[in-house]
Every structure is written in C-alpha cells, then in structure tokens.
Chains A and B, each alone.
Chain A
Amino acid sequence: MMYEMRALITFFAAFCRVSLSEDFGGSAFDRYDERLLFKPLPDGQVYAHFEFSTVFDEHINDVFWVDHFNLFPLAIGKFLANAKVQEMHFSLAKGFWKNSAWGYNARDAPNGAELTVYFQSFQDNPQKAWRDVTSVLSGHFCASLNFIDKAATVQPVYSFKPEGVLQNGSMRNDLLFYAALPHEALCTENLTPWKKLLPCFDKAGLASLLNARHIFNSHFVSLALDLKPICVNSDCYRTSISITQTISLIFNPPVVFDGKKSWSFIKFFGTPIKEVCQLASESTVLIDITQNDTSNPLTFTTPPSGLVVKKFGEKERKFATFDLKSIISEYKQQNMSKFNIVSLYKKNHVYASTTNPPPVFASRYITGYGVSQGGITCDIYNKLDKSVQIVYFDIIPWYLRIYVHTLKITVANKEIKPDTFYYKPAKDRSQPHHIEMLLTLLPNSVTTIHFDFDRQYLKWTEYPPDANHGVYVNSAVISLKLPTAQNMTVFSETSSSDFFLRIHTQSLLVSLATPDFSMPYNVICLVSTVVSLAFGPIHNLTTRKPQIPKSDEESKKQSLLNRIKNFFQNKKSHEKSD
C-alpha cells in the first residue's frame, strides 16, 4: 500500500517535471565533465585515470517518463528506468591492483567483473529485476554477466551500502545485490560499448586517447561505470542522477621504453589530442607533481596551464593542470592541430630500496597443496598508529566447503574475536558461502584471517572447458574509513578527515580434482565390462574352498563313453535341481 502511494505521488511529481522541462527545451542543469589524472608512482610506473562524469538533472524515480536524454546515455537511462535501479556500480578489470606498491586506486576494481545494484524501494520483485539487470548488462557490455546466477549472488549485510542519496529513509537489505565473476576477461569488445556511452564517443576529447591496442598493452586496465543519485545543492532538496565512467591504467615507461620515466600521450596512447569534446563543460588533464624529485625533476615540453594545490583533509597535493578547451582553441588559432603532453625526466629511473606502503592493505592466498583440502589466508596490514575498523567481505563458491570452526583471526599469534560476524552457509548449486565481519585492526599490526576448506567433486558436465586450469574464487573486499588521505587518489577536495575506502584483494585460483575427460566413454565401458566379468569369478574364488578332485587316476581311466554319459547325467541333475 505504502509503495503504491509512493508510486502515485512520484507519478504526479514526474508529470509536473516533464512538462516543466519541455517548457525549457531540455534540462539546463545537465553537465558533462572529463578529466584525466596522471600520477607517477614510486616504483617507476605511471598511473593514468580517466574520469567522465555526466549529471542528468532528473530525479531517479522519474526517468521512466523521460524520452529526451540529452547528454545522458539513452541505453542506460531506459534500462535503469525499466529495472527501477536506484544505484549501480559495475566494473571490469584485467590484472590485480597492487595497493602495496601503487597506493589506492581512485575506483578500485577486482580482477574480472563486479556488479552491485541497489533497486528503488518500489521495485516489487527485486530477484527478477536482478536477473534482468545482469542479462541486459551482459548484452550491452558483451560480458558474460549472464553467468551470474543464484550461486554467484549474495545480498551484502554490512558492505556495499548505497553511496548515493537514499530517499524515504533507511536502506533495505533485500534490494541490494552483489556478484563478481573473477574469471571474466576484459577486452576490446567490452571497451567499445563502454565508450559508446560517452557523449562524444571516442571521436573527440579525452576519450579519443582510448585506443584498444595501446590500452591493453598496459600493466593494469580497469573500466567502471557508477550510477547514483546525487544532491543538486547542499540542502539536497532536489536530486539528480550522476553517471561516472572511469578507466584506470598502469604503464611502465622505464621498462617498456628506455629506462626513464618519461612519457607522452603518443607513447602511452599512440595518438595526440586533435579535437576537444564540445559538449564537455570541463576537459582537464591533471598531473600529480606532489612527489617531484628535485634531483631528477619532471619537466614538460608544453608549459601547463596552471598549478593547483588541493587539500584532502590534512594532506595537500600539487597538480599541474592542462585545460584542454583553452589549449586546443589556442592551437586552432595558430593552425596547429595536435596537442601532445610530453613529460621528460633527464635521468634514468632509480628503483628505491624501500617502498612507501599505504596505511591499510591486504594480501590473500591459498594454502596447502593437493586437490582434497586447502585453506585461504588473508593478511591485512595496518601501518597506522591508530586502530582502524574495517568490514571484511568474502564470498566463497559452494564447491569449496569451508569449515567455519577453523576460522581463526590472529594478530601476532594471538587469537582475536571479530566485533560482529555474519555467515550464511552455502547451498550446493544455489548459494555461495557469505562471510562478513567487522574487525578492529590494531595499530601497526598484521591481522590474519584463515579458514580451511574441502574441495568438492563437481558433476562432470559442471566443469569448465579448461577444467584442469582450476576455478577462481572472488577477491575479498575490505571497506573502511581511513583517517588520512595518504596514498589516496581523489579528485575533489574535501575538508572531512575520514575517507571512505574500498579495496579488493587478490582473486584466487583453486584446482579441483578432475576426471579424465579425454576418455570417459572408454573408461566407463571398459571398467563396467571388467567389473561385470570379474565379479562372479572373484566372488567364487574368495568365498569357496577350492578343491582338487580326489581320484586322479579314476578320471583318467574313464572311457569316452563313460565321459559322455557323465556329461548328460550332470546336465540332467542340473535340470532337476533347477
């Protein structure tokens, strides 16, 4: 009843707003920004992060009645209206983001695909809607998201809370869905539909740098799409929809090129920027020069448009900025068509002997060997002087039977208890193990979470085509509020002292016992034949006392006639006994 009422109200509201926006001829507050951040990392690699954000000035519940989408991608708009999606986070990545060496990714993504959806409160059948969402996205991004079934889906309890504005009170757990496919490979066919969502596609602006040939030559690629309702102004009287598309890349110039950390657009992406996206309100390239080494400084062939100092809590970061809009228009006036940023270092890169690890990071691995038992260990490092509370989230597929009684959380060989613990056991073929816990990491400590599992046999049709490769286990997710912006990568300035952070651990490869697929038919036939032939005699041999006929001589002396007689007599007595 409540929902119906709400829907009715929303309907009226939408009706009014649609007529309003028609009057104005398109939404005046829609906005599209593109930004590219370069961050030289201490291990000589360079982190490039693209962020394309579109704001659609429409209430999320009203999208259903909208038929003109302007900058916002039509495909996504229609789909979110049909499925009544409130918030969605989708990512595809190839590689593992090494937090310990690279700091934190601006949009962290695990290897493979990851999808979180929160439905609008009047979605009557979220289970069905979730299936629809996965199939639609699967078709749209050419990814195997249709493999997300019941056995891969969980409904998080403490993690993955909606990040956007939640209307009408608190969040409902039954509307939140999470799934990850660690074996999903990111490739060109996923990138193209992703680029198509941008207003200028890849024809102009920063997106024109995204050439598949060069991107997939990097050391890490992740692309993500985040959709959430945001406040229009500080009092949050009205909300609009924000869609943020990000690509994170890691390049390794000293190894791939000439030992120097120098790079340029052409070296990384194979092309300079020729055209700026006219639809973009902002088009900037930022280069993090906070840790510019004075002995081997970073210089640019084209001077940057400006230097910006941004404050993140207590930390300050310095950026050199290039405002593409003004630069390209200047270039056009001078009849130059291509803009290339070239960053130069005079000397070769020297690898530091000590790394500067981030405050909190984790490493997760399989223990043991063989195909019957095993264990999973996750070491979580806290390098801060304060204790930090985290949420640990782990999904284990059903074919690994985990033993919860073996779950041990230790700090320096002392066992500790989690603050809160949630566990939902797996059901064969329909539900994975779902572990979530709140943990307090002690200052300067390594917390180890370990549990053992048994490997199950699958039915022989359930094995993947490359059965002996093994099966993947999702990466664990650690969410926390970090009291410092150290090693963080964020765009917007904040004055708050807490930074929400979500990191993913390694996904794991576990080998299962496999049947000999090369000859199941032969094996079945042969074994059955041998068993059927051999059972009788072996049964006879083992249950009877073998005896040798007593009178050897007699039987030898028997004449042929007697033998024949005996033969028939035997037969007769057989028949009688039968």
Chain B
Amino acid sequence: MGILTSDKSRKQGHILRALREHCNKLCVLAFVCGIFSFALLIHEKYCDSTYFSENALLPGLVNREFKEASFASDLYGALKNESVNYNNKIPYSWITSQFRRIGLEVYRQKFILKYPFGKQYKYKGENVYAILRAPRSASTEAIVLSTPYRGFDSIHGTTLPGIAMMIAIAKYFLSKNYWAKDIIFLISDHELVGMQAWLDAYHDIEKNAYSSIDYEKLEGRSGPIQGAINLEIHSDQNSRVELKIEGLNGQLPNLDLFNVAVELATRESITPTFHGQSHPFAADHWEIWKEHALTIGSMMISQAIGLPTGAHGLFQKFAIQSLTLEAIEKRQTDSSHVSVSFLHIGRLIEGIFRSLNNLLEKFNRSYWFYLLPSTRRYISIGYYMISFGLLVIPSLFKALNLYLNLNRDDETRDAKESFSLWNVLPSAFFCHFFGASLASLPFLIEKWASYQVNYGYETQNILYYSLLSFSLILMLNPFLKGQSAEQLKAYKCIALLNLALLFSCLSLLNISLAMFLTLIYIPIACSISTQSRFFLLNLIYKLFVILLHPLVIGYICLLAMSIWYDPQEAAVTHAHRAFEAHKKTILFYVEDWYIYGNWTYLFGTAFLFPLWLQLWYLL
C-alpha cells in the first residue's frame, strides 16, 4: 500500500520537504495552470461538439407540418384588442373560451402571495391552464408548454404573441393522433410567482402557516411532467430565437433538451442563439476563441447570480427538464432579410414536442453539469473540474505546509506551548454561529413586521444596516482573534481548509459561483501573512480581506454594472446608485429565498461570511 505514501518514509519526507520548500512556487504554478487550462478548454479544438445521447429523442426525423400560422396571427390580433380592455390583467374569459372552443379542458387556479415583510400585503393572482389528453394514454405522463402573461405594454416585452401561438399550436396538436403524453398549456399570472404556485400545487407541496404562497388545489391534472418549454414571444416578426437555460440557483437542464432545441431551430432556418451569440463560423481561431470566451463568460455570470433567467428555471427544482425559447423581435433597422414568423416558431415547437413525446424514459442521459462556449460546443464536468481543482489546490498546499510547521515546532518546544488544531474549534464554531444568526435575520424582521410599519422603517434598510452593523461589530471583536503566532498559524490552516471544502462543495452545485469565488478568495487567502511586522503591509492585507467581504463583493459587482451600462455618469452617482441597488438586491434575494427557495442569501450569510470572519481574525 505504498503507492501514495511509503511506510518507512524516507520518500515521504522528501515529498513533504519539497512541498515545504517550494510551497509558494507550487501554489502560484497550480493557480496559473488552472486559469490557463480553463482558457485552453474554451478553445475550439479542446471543447467537444454537442451530440444526442438519448436515442429516443429522434429530433427532426419527421416532417414538421404545422400550418396554423394564419390562425395564430388572427388570434394575436384579437388578443391584442382584448387585452387593452383588461389593463394588464389576464383576459381569462377570452383565453378559456379559445381553449374550450378547440375542445380542450380548461382550468383556472387562484393563488395568494403573502408578502412576509412590511405591511404583509397579499397579492392575488390566477393561472389559466388547459390540458390536451393524449388518446389511448392513461394520463401517466405530461409535457408542459408555458408562458408568463405580459400585457401589451409590459416593460419586459409583451408575451401576447406567445399566447396566440400556444392556442394555435394546441389546435394543431389536438388533431394529431400520435401523442403519448398529455400536453399542458399553462399561462401564469404574475410571472414566476404564478408558475411557482402552479408547480407547488401540481406536486402538492405541503403548505403551512409560514409558506408565502397560498395556492388553490388543481382541479385537472395529469401524470409526472417529463419536460417543459417556456415561451417568450414578443412579436410576430422575429430575427432569432434565444435559448435560456440557467435556472434557480444555477441549475441547468439536461444538455439533450438544449441540443434538441438547437438542432430543430437550425433545421427550421431559425438562428438559435445562446447569450446573444450564435455558433461562430470564422477562419481565425483567435476570433472563435474570443466569441467562445464571451459566451461562456456571460453564461457563467448568469449562472453565478443564481436567479432564473426565465420561468423555466422553476421547473428544474422539481427535476423537470426545461428551457425558455425567447423570440427576439426584429428591429426596424435590421437589414437582414431573415425573419422568423409564427410558422417557423410553430414548427420548431412542434418538433421539440414530438421529440419529447418520443421519449420512452425521463431524461437520464447526457449531461446535467456543463458549460457552453457556444450553441454547438460544451465543456462537461469532467473537464472543467480539472481547472477548478488546480485553482483550489493552492489552499490545500498552504494548509498542509502550515500543519507541517506546527508539528515540526512541537518537538523543539515545551509541551505547554504546543498547539493543537483542535484549539481552533471554539473560534471556528463562533464564526459559524454568527453566520447562522445572520442567516436567520429575515425571520426576526418578519416576526416584528408590525414594528417596521408603525415606526416607518423600510425592510430593506433594516436588513441592510443590520447586516452592516453586525459585520462591523464582529470585525472589531477582539476575543476571537488569534494571539500567539502559533495560534494564528493554526487558525490560518483551518481557514484555508474550510475554504477548499466550501468551494469544492459549491462547485458541484453551481460551478460558476464557485469558480468566481475561488478566483478572488484563494490568491488573497493564500498570500496574507499572519506575522507581518510592518504596519503598512498589515493594512494592505486588511484592505484586501475587506474586499472579500460578501457585502463588498456584491457592492463592487453592482458598481461595475452601473458603470458598464452608463459610462458617462459621475463616479459619485455610480457609487450612490450602486448603494441603493445594493440594499434592494439583498432584500430581493431574501424574498426569492422565501418564495422560490433561492439559497444565495443563505450561502452568503451562513457559509461564506463565517469563512470571511475566520480570514479577518487572522490579521
């Protein structure tokens, strides 16, 4: 058993000694290799082409025959006129009568969103859905076609054409005899809230007094949902179809579903784009690399943020593979003659649904963990994990080095002074305890909601300033700081191990977030010295660590965003704007946690913040 370590360890001694002597060099090397290998992965030659893993999908095997485009246009015209009278409310009677007229079962579902903070307002909404029962099937499986309702003047762009499309396609689907799975057409009210209410009701998630969505039981239902396509069609003349896949907490759908959409869109001469980029065709490798880098960067940012990019993002939590097809409206200035009409989109949807209908089993092949540099290239978990591992490993090297130092010094000292790693436990425990208490802050705010209302405090301010002051108090707290140099070493060792542990766990849930955090945390955490005698150097270290504070990271990101969108503005304006946005964003994440189960706030407070505190107490 002496492959990794030898028993009578002359060899072991060598390896460890080499590690001790060249630790810093090794750390830098691994980190640089990590970045370099990731850059290499994006290169066209080193990332794989996408392919179909699930044979049953058979995309494009049949001719797509949808021809109800004029019916869809008529419906769109009628719906536009109808929606004007409804003032951004769903024209329920019109939609239900349309679905019923073609012969579908139509149901409605009411829900109430109980806002947990402030005056604890209640928002009411109502979803509409229709079920097409597959002939000769026992309603054991279903596929969903959904769209959120947005009126003609919605700021996010209307979805009325999508609804018209949905009804037209329902009419076409009904005339076909080949369906093996029921098809559910769902129009959700209040965007994601309605979708969440419907999904909760469909899976009969238990409600209690604390749940923020109170939903009505579904009257009509079918079997387990095998796949879902969410539509966001803003116009009847479009230039391309954008595929959106990032879901809640950075969850992704099965790559096969994405491939089906890309393949069928291409076959209908629709340009499928991912983060605004279509598959690059260029002679120059460098050009392609740049496009790949832009796409993957954009995808990673959107995944790291942890917010769903569309209503498909909520399905994924229920193990339903889903994506959003967003038709991008053709601008007047577009010179290209390519135009994606109702006919094209209808045939695209028909193709995807027939593929899903072909599925014998639920999606179980292909990849769930991947990064996409373009619509036709992917990097699977097997490759990007190597880069990620190289980025994380410096913290392990450093921790091992510190641990060896602790041990070596043991023998030269008295037993009294020797320091065991177990002594770090109280400090680490308290850091985590404070983190957990920060995470439970919203519950306290919720409990004293009436207090906020009576004294006119805004929830976002209470939350924000509590977080800030709590952090400050903990930063100034002298009790948890390491005193002796030995203690500090042990502290640092544990902090580094914790970092490696947290980031590698996170990488399995949300690789993008893990990657970004690793990129900033590991270099700083590894390079700070605990025994610096120079005041100035110490100050610089402190400044760096402050930059790593979760709140500060958030603020910097928002500031960067503000500057990106509006480069002309004065610096003070940006600072102020980012500050205001920061308060809102934190509350927004908390709300998302309550309603959908977004864990970004929880992660920031209960997991990242304790580690940051441990780093802070090193200085």
Give A contacts to B, CB under 8 Å: 43-44, 94-96, 98, 101, 111-112, 182, 216-221, 252, 254-256, 351, 353, 363, 365-370, 375, 377, 466-470, 472, 506-509, 511, 514, 518, 533-538, 540-541, 545-549, 552, 570, 574
Contact = CB atoms under 8 A, between A and B. Distances in A.
Contacts of A552: 17
A467 B103 CA distance: 35
Contacts of B7: 540
A368 B175 CA distance: 33
Contacts of A353: 97, 100
B475 to A, nearest CB: 35
Given A368-B204, A466-B361, A545-B407, 18 more contacts: A44-B103, A94-B137, A182-B138, A365-B223, A366-B224, A367-B203, A369-B203, A369-B318, A507-B140, A509-B141, A536-B3, A541-B4, A546-B407, A547-B13, A547-B407, A547-B408, A548-B16, A549-B17
A506 B138 CA distance: 7
Contacts of B140: 111, 472, 506-509
Contact of B138 (A101, A111, A470, A541): A111
A507 B137 CA distance: 11
Contacts of A252: 103, 135
Contact of A220 (B10, B136, B361): B136
Contacts of A472: 140
Interface string B350-367: 000000000011101100
Contacts, number: 126
Contact of A537 (B5, B177, B365): B5
Nearest to B403: A546
A256 B204 contact: no
Nearest to B3: A533
B13 A549 contact: yes
B319 A218 contact: no
Contacts of A514: 364
Closest 9 CB pairs of A and B: A536-B1, A537-B4, A367-B204, A468-B361, A111-B138, A96-B138, A509-B140, A468-B364, A219-B135
Nearest to A259: B103
A514 B365 CA distance: 12
A511 B141 CA distance: 11
25 contacts: A95-B136, A95-B137, A96-B138, A111-B140, A216-B136, A219-B133, A219-B135, A219-B136, A220-B136, A353-B100, A365-B204, A366-B224, A367-B203, A368-B205, A369-B318, A369-B319, A375-B204, A506-B140, A508-B140, A509-B224, A533-B3, A537-B2, A540-B7, A546-B16, A548-B404
A254 B266 CA distance: 35
Interface residues of B, number: 46
Contacts of A111: 138, 140
Given A95-B137, A507-B140, A547-B407, A365 B221 contact: yes
Contact of A535 (B1, B177, B360): B1
B413 interface: no
B524 interface: no
A221 B361 CA distance: 24
B12 interface: yes
B5 A540 contact: yes
A511 B224 contact: yes
Contacts of B100: 351, 353
Contacts of B174: 255
B138 A507 contact: yes
Contact of A377 (B3, B101, B175, B204): B204
A538 B1 CA distance: 10
A98 B17 contact: no
B207 to A, nearest CB: 11
B12 A351 contact: no
Interface string B81-118: 00000000000000001001101010000000000000
Contact of A254 (B103, B136, B177): B103
Interface of B: 1-5, 7-10, 12-13, 16-17, 20, 97, 100-101, 103, 105, 133, 135-141, 174-175, 177, 203-205, 221, 223-224, 318-319, 360-362, 364-365, 404, 407-408
A256 B362 contact: no
Contacts of B137: 94-96
B20 A548 contact: yes
Contacts of A466: 360-361
Q: Which of A221, A514, A540, A552 has the most C-beta atoms of chain B within 10 angstroms of its own C-beta?
A: A540
A537 B3 contact: yes
Nearest to B17: A548
Given A220-B136, A377-B204, A535-B1, A469 B8 contact: no
A541 B103 contact: no
Given A351-B100, A466-B361, A514-B364, A256 B136 contact: no
B379 to A, nearest CB: 21
B364 A221 contact: no
Nearest to B96: A353
Nearest to B317: A369
A500 to B, nearest CB: 24
Contacts of B9: 546
- For A112, A367, A535, the residue with the greatest tally of chain B CB atoms inside 10 Å of its CB is A367
Contact of A255 (B20, B175, B362, B408): B175
Contacts of A508: 140, 223
B152 to A, nearest CB: 26
Nearest to B363: A468
B362 to A, nearest CB: 6
A218 B177 CA distance: 9
A163 B423 CA distance: 79
A266 to B, nearest CB: 18
A44 B100 CA distance: 12
Contacts of B138: 95-96, 111-112, 182, 506-507
Nearest to B204: A367
B179 to A, nearest CB: 11
Contacts of A254: 103
A393 B404 CA distance: 68
Contact of A541 (B5, B139, B177, B204): B5
A43 B103 contact: yes
Contacts of B20: 548
Contacts of A112: 138
Contacts of B5: 537, 540-541
A369 B177 CA distance: 30
A468 B362 contact: yes
Nearest to B135: A219
Contacts of B177: 217, 256
Nearest to B223: A509
Task: From A216, A218, A466, A509, name the one whose CB has the most chain B CB atoms within 10 angstroms.
Answer: A509
Contacts of B205: 368
A217 B140 CA distance: 19
Contacts of B141: 509
Contacts of B2: 536-537
B136 A363 contact: no
Contacts of B204: 365, 367-368, 375, 377
A423 B503 CA distance: 49
A510 to B, nearest CB: 8
Contacts of A534: 4
A539 to B, nearest CB: 8
Contact of B361 (A363, A469, A507): A469
Contacts of B16: 546, 548
Contact of A98 (B133, B319, B361): B133
B385 to A, nearest CB: 16
B129 to A, nearest CB: 15
B13 to A, nearest CB: 5
Contacts of B407: 545-547
B418 to A, nearest CB: 12
User: Which of B5, B136, B318 gathers most chain A CB within 10 Å?
Assistant: B136
A265 to B, nearest CB: 20
A548 B408 contact: yes
A560 to B, nearest CB: 15
A218 B136 contact: yes
